[in-house]
Amino acid sequence: MLEIKNLHVSIEGVQILKGISLKINKGEVHAVMGPNGSGKSTLAKVLAGDPAYTVTKGEVLFEGNNLLKMEPEMRAREGIFLAFQYPVEIPGVSNTYFLKAALNEVRVAKGLPELDAMEFLELFNKKLKQVEMDQTLAHRSVNESFSGGEKKRNEILQMTVLEPRLAILDETDSGLDIDALKIVAAGVNQLRSPDRSMMVVTHYQRLLNYIVPDFVHVLLEGRIVKSGSKDLALQLEREGYDGVKDSLASAKS
């Protein structure tokens, strides 16, 4: 599904990613962990096509195609979804209107007919219940004055409506209360399927109890320094990143 080869990325002349290679197959869930500033969001946004970043080296294939040549909206229509770490507010644009526009653009790209207002609302209300989101939030402007947790939940709502092929969740768990965490995890798990892949960025093992990953990667200073099974997350929880750093240091010397 997704193949990242030796990816180097910089922003404003600063090198952030220094050679990332990662392969995500259909149906797999990969967790990406790592200390603050290690480049997790950078990786997520580069995959989604954020023009603020410059790819200086390497390539990314999505379903065999050169992803880096595609415009962000094309990537989205091809089924890449990024749940942002910091979702932006769009004043004046209602959540439902926004999501309907998004869904219809995606549908048209897939050769499906657009949903009219009634059809969309029916779908929307169903999904709204699924993520147990408040009706009133649905009709407010996109993320405007949402609490941190509400914004995250809204991202999941959008994801369940858009049904992407590759979902990238960037710290969707941070800022969520325990109940919300379970609801979000349930929403994500419902989307798990043999043809859908996920990349889950998180700081906490806790989330991985609900969304059990097939692989865990540790990102450190722009490189994946360690990969393993879900047990790696448990180890990180126990030892922190110092453990990884130490073992790296000793391996080098």
Ligand X SMILES: Nc1ncnc2c1ncn2[C@@H]1O[C@H](COP(=O)(O)OP(=O)(O)OP(=O)(O)O)[C@@H](O)[C@H]1O
The residues binding ligand X (CB under 6 A) are 11-12, 14, 16, 34, 36-42, 85
Which C-beta is closer to ligand X: that of 37 or that of 228? 37
- Looking at 32, 84, 85, 180, which residue binds Mg ion (CB under 5 A)? 85
Cβ burial, residue 42 (10 Å; 0-12/13-18/19+)? buried
Measure the CA–CA gap between 21 and 41, rounded to whole angstroms.
Answer: 16
Q: Which of 180, 101, 120, 122 is nearest to 146 (CA)?
A: 180
Q: Choose between 41 and 205: whose C-beta lies nearer to another protein.
A: 41
Cβ at position 65, least distance to ligand X in Å: 25
Contact range with Mg ion by CB under 5 A, out of 5-13, 14-22, 37-45, 234-242 = 37-45
Of 87 and 187, nearer to another protein (C-beta) is 87
Which of 3, 105, 132, 221 is the binder for another protein (CB under 8 A)?
105
Stretch that binds another protein, among 102-110, 117-125, 145-153, 197-205 (CB under 8 A): 102-110
Comparing CB distances to Mg ion, the nearer of 34 and 213 is 34
Q: Which of 57, 53, 46, 39 is nearest to 220 (CA)?
A: 39
Residue closest to 133 by CA, chosen among 115, 151, 114 = 151
96 binds Mg ion (CB under 5 A): no
Task: Say if residues 62 and 90 touch (Cβ distance below 8 Å).
Answer: no
Q: Does 71 bind another protein (CB under 8 A)?
A: yes
Asked if 117 is part of the footprint of another protein (rule: CB under 8 A), the reply reads: no
Sequence-distant (≥ 6) Cβ neighbours of residue 247 within 8 angstroms: none
The residue range among 24-32, 42-50, 128-136, 241-249 that interacts with another protein, by the rule CB under 8 A, is 42-50
Pairing mode, if any, of strands 2-11 and 54-62? antiparallel
Is residue 92 within the footprint of another protein (CB under 8 A)? Answer: yes
35 phi and psi, to 5 degrees? -65, 165
Q: Which amino acid is at 173?
A: D
Asked if 115 interacts with another protein (CB under 8 A), we say: no
Residue ranges that bind Mg ion, judged by CB under 5 A: 40-41, 85
